Amino acid sequence: MYYAKVVVVILLMCMLGYVQSKPHLTPKNNTDTIADSAMVVSAHPLASAVGVAILKKGGNAIDAAIAIQFALAVVYPEAGNIGGGGFMVYRAADGSSNTLDFRETAPLAATKNMYLDQLGNVIADRSTKGHWAAGIPGTVAGAVAAHQKYGKLPWADLVQPAINLAQQGFVVSPTLAQTLNAEQTDFEQLNTRPCPLAKKDLWHPLDTLKQVQLAATLVAIRDNQQNGFYAGWVADSLIAEMQRGGGLITHTDLANYAPVWRNPIVGNYKKLRFISMPPPSSGGIALAQLCQVLEKYPLAKWGFHSPKTIHHIVEAERRIYADRATHLGDPAFWQVPVGTLLNTAYLQKRMKDFDAQHATPSAKIVAGNIAQSHAIGHEETTHLSVVDKWGNAVAVTTTLNGAYGAKVVVGGAGFLLNNQMDDFSAKPGVPNLYGLVGNEANAIAPNKRMLSSMTPTIVEQNGKLRMVLGTPGGSTIITSVLQVLLNVEEFGMTMQEAVDAPRFHHQWLPDLVFIEKDALDTPTIKQLQQMGHTIKERPPIGRVDAILVRKDGKLAGGADKRGEDTALGY
């Protein structure tokens, strides 16, 4: 598999005409990918190859990130997208930073109780499958906004590689074949037109997936930028799909969509300073809270995955996720008390009932009392990290929400719709797809952005770039980013070791410590259980793609072994 991946990457880069030397490719043996000048890490080898090609052509980190996003929409359909949305964190070589919110929004016709039946109960699958689950996509508008502000190469150069991949097709991997086959029933039942991802017989590894309709949409985006998606025939196709499937998105919704540049959340962990996403992402605030709580403990002394280390992290997580459920939402609709949530005295108070020897039942934990909060009016996300030769850095996390989003491909236009409406709180206290609960702060409202856990993050040390990281994983995103950061800074791991290390997760409700298979040994599990923790094994947690600037100035890429993620540099 490794050698096949190398051949595919080199062939693609030869097609694009940018190969100057054999690219550095991530081996799956806990060894960093090292580069002298630039690095990209993404969820698919072909997308990473596109990013490196753009960098070698003279593009900057923003250019590469945009090209990778469009390529992922083709080669990684379960999460890569133009029908979803996400967040971008940018740090320029001079140390200035910015964040871009291109999160999906609720249609104008959305209502607070749209997913409840006459008895006030949540209707099964209504917010996760089909046309009603879709929010207004933001990915294309976000890419255009990023390029207009920071891009270097012509726009068409960034979209063309994805067009080539869609038109010519690419080889289906065993992983992609498996996920496509798992969704065939939904593809057949939920689509109003023949679905290009559906197949009469099963998908097999080495099949070729061509997406002619998606290629046509990408051509429209290449030639007309934002208007190629939110207006014209592509928009008409999307609205026709909504009408056939009983969805809510209208031409007015598409015309009104706009991404938002926001001031970043800035936090610290000992000597590190990190830049992350503000609301409507909960990621930056939660990460900053966790880091502030944990930095006073001697985690390195206690050891990686020692019972004491895990206990302290879990107890901090259960309190921070309780805050998330109550206090965080779209800042245009809810006064998010950022200052209070990050206040040292407040966080000390949150940990006042912490017991170093015993777990605190989540039933006894509530959100912190912050009076000023009030109203003002399957884990399929993907992350990419880029550092260019000038030292500019980009962390981008995008999502369809669940695997293949709403499972609906827009007829004639070939792109998948998101099921992001499930990230709203359909009913206070009722968990969503990822088991997260919410309240009024994250209630559904027209034009509102749903709360997210996405945590694209850039880390500095002594004023210099140190790390770029992020991950998919729904509610586990925040805790995965935290653990990778700690793995490097506290436990001395290389970037690849930090990314590959087994992970655990707690999110307040349900009151469970989720662990990956073989993440903890039997004595550690028994000791945690004796402390009152309930342990539950689950599938892999997150797929972190990260870059570390080493002390010698070289770039070390870490691509998560849990997927087909690939680090490439030169």
Show Cβ contacts of residue 61 under 8 Å, excluding neighbours closer than 6 positions.
Answer: 55, 90, 386, 387, 388, 392, 393, 394
Q: Which helix (H) or strand (E) holds 70?
A: helix 61-75
User: Average pLDDT for residues 477-504, to the nearest whole number?
Assistant: 98
The pLDDT assigned to 475 comes to 93
Nearest to 392 by CA among 555, 231, 192, 568: 555
Count of structural domains, the chain = 1
Instruction: Give the pLDDT confidence score for residue 434 in this predicted structure.
Output: 67
Query: At residue 299, does pLDDT exceed 80?
Result: yes
Q: How confident is the model at residue 369 (pLDDT cuts 50, 70, 90)?
A: confident
Question: How far is residue 190 from each of residues 116, 323, 408, 439, 547, measured CA to CA in Å?
Answer: 20, 36, 6, 30, 39
**Nearest-5° angle of CA 362, CA 517, CA 507?**
20
Q: What pLDDT does 368 receive?
A: 79
- Give the residue from 473, 480, 460, 463 showing the smallest Cα distance to 558: 480
Do you find a cis peptide bond into 510, omega within 30 degrees of 0?
yes
Query: To 10 degrees, what angle do helices 155-168 and 2-16 make?
Result: 130
* Strand order across the beta sheet in which 513-516 lies: 504-505, 513-516, 535-538
For tokens 């998948």, name the residue.
416
Mean pLDDT score, 224-244? 98
pLDDT of residue 18: 36
The helix (run of H) or strand (run of E) holding residue 308 is helix 307-327
Q: What's the start-to-end Cα distance of the chain, in Å?
A: 22
Determine the longest span between alpha carbons in the chain, in angstroms. Answer: 65
Read off the tokens for 260.
């938002």
- C-alpha triplet 532, 367, 290: angle, nearest 5°: 70
559 membership: H or E segment, kind and range: strand 555-559
Average pLDDT, integer, range 170-189 = 97
DSSP state, residue 377: -
pLDDT of residue 373: 43
Portion of the chain with pLDDT greater than 90, in percent: 89
Tell the residue number behind the tokens 């550095």, with chain if given: 24
Mean pLDDT of 9-14: 48
**pLDDT for position 253:** 98
Instruction: Assess whether pLDDT exceeds 60 at residue 560.
Output: yes
Contact (CB, 8 A) for 88 and 396: yes
Confidence at residue 379, expressed as pLDDT on a 0 to 100 scale? 59
- Amino acid letter, residue 230: Y
Question: At 30, is the pLDDT very low, low, confident or very high (cuts 50, 70, 90)?
Answer: confident
**What is d(CA 512, CA 162) in angstroms, rounded to the nearest whole number?**
41
- For 385-432, the pLDDT digits (tens) are 999 999 999 999 999 999 999 999 999 999 999 999 999 998 877 777
Residue 535 has pLDDT above 50, yes or no: yes
Predicted confidence band at 100 (pLDDT cuts at 50, 70, 90)? very high
| pLDDT more than 70, % of the chain | 93
Task: State the average pLDDT over residues 446-450.
Answer: 98
Residues with Cβ < 8 Å from 396, sequence gap 6 or more? 65, 68, 69, 86, 87, 88, 89, 383, 384, 385, 386, 456, 470
Structure tokens given for 118? 């006459």
Span 195-222, average pLDDT: 97
Domain range for 471: 1-570
Note the pLDDT of residue 440: 86
Average pLDDT, the chain: 93
Task: Read off the pLDDT of residues 34-85 as tens digits, 9 standing for 90 and up.
Answer: 999 999 999 999 999 999 999 999 999 999 999 999 999 999 999 999 999 9
Q: 279-300 burial by CB neighbour count: b if 16+ within 10 A, else e? A: bbbbbbbbbbbbbbbbbebebe
- How many Å apart are CA 303 and CA 435, to the nearest integer? 30
Which of 102-106, 199-203, 297-301 shows the lowest per-residue confidence on average (mean pLDDT)?
A: 199-203
85-91 and 393-402 beta bridge pairing: antiparallel
374: pLDDT strictly greater than 80:
no
SS3 351: coil
Q: What is the pLDDT of residues 279-290, one digit of tens each?
A: 999 999 999 999
Residues 174 and 177: their CA atoms lie apart, in Å, by 5
- List Cβ neighbours of 260 (8 Å cut-off, separation of 6 or more): 100, 101
Judged against a pLDDT cut of 80, whether residue 10 lies above it is answered with: no
Residues acting as catalytic residues: 381
CA–CA gap between residue 512 and residue 509 (Å, rounded): 7
* Rounded distance between C-alpha atoms, residue 209 and residue 73, angstroms: 13
Q: Residue 461: beta bridge partners?
A: 272, 464
Rounded Cα gap, residues 205 and 208, in angstroms: 9
